[in-house]
Amino acid sequence: MSLKGHSVTIILSVVLATLISTELIIPNQTCLNYLTSLSLKTFSSSPILSIFFNPFSFNSHHHHQNHRNKKKTGASICDNFAPNFPTIDTTTTSILCVDTNGCCNFTTVQSAVDAVGVFSRKRTIIWINTGIYFEKVMVPRTKVNITFQGQGFESTAIVWNDNANSSHGTFYSGSVQVFAPNFIAKNISFMNVAPMPGPGVVGAQAVAIRIAGDQSAFWGCGFFGAQDTLHDDRGRHYFKDCFIQGSIDFIFGNGKSLYENCRLISIANPVPVGVRIINGAITAHGRASSDENSGFAFVNCSVGGTGRVWLGRAWRPFSRVIFAYTSLSAIISPEGWNDFNDPTRDQ
């Protein structure tokens, strides 16, 4: 999705974006920790109350059995590790643990996903400890009934930096891609920190998560990016108490989805008073036929941030989006919607 001719500016500095490029995904350890914390703070318009990330481990061994990193004193950094696992019925549910320090069975989210049985009838909770996980994660169609359980959307995040150019298309740029049905995520953020383009640059769309499996649900999650942040691709999806941030078409796709009590925050460039310019859009729904039973419904949500934006653009001829009982700030353009220069889509 693109918005040609309109200026889009990201809050994240050019220096930060350059340093977190694909070529420098594993820089100096101290530098990486600083940039990670800075990136999350910069992308979030709400204060990060207190984030203390553990030191990051980027070795080639992703599957560990109680690996213990030792301090110089001989004490283990895992000695005080006490995960707050939910109480489960082991006949219907299993738990896998992910921690960057090696205090769990896995140090990466993808390695935990890979360990889940094919078409498992059990629900697998992948408990993800506080931290930033720099990796591109894919949940294939065969890994059904998975839950990503983070420790808060301001303290646990999966981050990558692909864009449409680097990944051979917008649809494949997602930091996380979910193709399996019955996926659940709780209290975790999905981020794409790809370098941002100047106005008119082609191929800079950068998806934080693509959801292409049916019956997915997200509680208390964060979605951080700019252009095309949340790819609500297809299937029935539910979002509750989530924080969704972007600039252009940052909730897009052909999903049949309900968003309840979510905060939608535009980071489009501020528009001076008196200047008549639109530089962003909240949604771009992709319903191509009147026979398709899809659409986005936003209920009891709030829309704020910066720029002057449309509630949505009619990406396809029968795009369908509803905002109900939702607080809209002054950033919304008075006309509300854009028909993609096709008046037949005004219905």
**Tens of pLDDT along the chain (347 residues)?**
555 433 332 233 333 333 333 333 333 344 444 444 544 454 443 332 233 233 333 333 344 444 445 445 556 788 888 788 989 999 999 999 999 999 999 999 999 999 999 999 999 999 999 999 999 999 999 999 999 999 999 999 999 998 888 888 888 889 999 999 999 999 999 999 987 655 567 888 889 999 999 999 999 999 999 889 999 999 999 999 999 999 989 999 999 999 999 999 999 989 888 888 888 899 999 888 888 999 999 999 999 999 999 999 887 788 889 999 999 999 999 888 877 665 666 66
d(CA 310, CA 337): 5
CA distance 29 to 75: 21
d(CA 240, CA 260): 5
- Residue type at 41? K
Nearest to 97 by CA among 131, 126, 133, 61: 126
Q: What is the dihedral of CA 319, 323, 327, 330, to 10 degrees?
A: 30
CATH for 14-76+89-266 is: 2.160.20.10
Q: For residue 276, what pLDDT is reported?
A: 85
User: What pLDDT does 50 receive?
Assistant: 30
Note the pLDDT of residue 202.
82
Query: Which positions are annotated as active-site residues?
Result: 249
Cβ atoms of 218 and 244 closer than 8 Å: no
Rg (alpha carbons) of the chain, rounded to whole number: 20
Rounded CA separation 30/92 (Å): 42
* Closest listed residue to residue 211, CA positions, set 226, 203, 223: 223
Classified as helix, coil or strand, 247 is coil
**Sole residue written with tokens 């193709």:** 179
pLDDT of residue 289: 87
Please tell me the predicted confidence (pLDDT) of residue 60: 32
- CB under 8 Å to 291, separation ≥6 — which residues? none
Q: Return the pLDDT at 205.
A: 87
pLDDT of residue 337: 86
The closest alpha carbon to 281, from 310, 302, 255, 259, belongs to: 310
Q: Where are the alpha helices (DSSP H) in the chain?
A: 14-19, 29-43, 109-115
pLDDT at 99: 96
Which pLDDT value is given to residue 83? 85
Query: 315-342 b/e with 16+ CB inside 10 Å = b?
Result: bbbbbbbebeebeeeebbbeeebbbeee
Amino acid 299: pLDDT: 98
Cα-based torsion angle of the residue sequence 206, 193, 217, 136 in order, rounded to the nearest 10 degrees: 90
CA nearest 230: which of 177, 278, 271, 160?
177
Tokens of 291: 């026979």
pLDDT given at position 229: 95
| pLDDT at residue 346, as a whole number | 61
Helix (H, G, I), strand (E, B) or coil at 280: strand
CB atoms inside a 10 Å sphere around CB 236: 16
β-bridge pairing 131-134 and 327-328: unpaired
* C-alpha–C-alpha distance, residues 37 and 238, integer Å: 29
For residue 34, the SS3 value is helix
pLDDT at site 48? 27
Is-above-0.85 flag for pTM?
no
Q: Which residues pair with residue 96 across a beta bridge? A: 126
Q: Which of 338, 268, 339, 251 is CA-nearest to residue 308?
A: 268
Strand partners, 132: 157
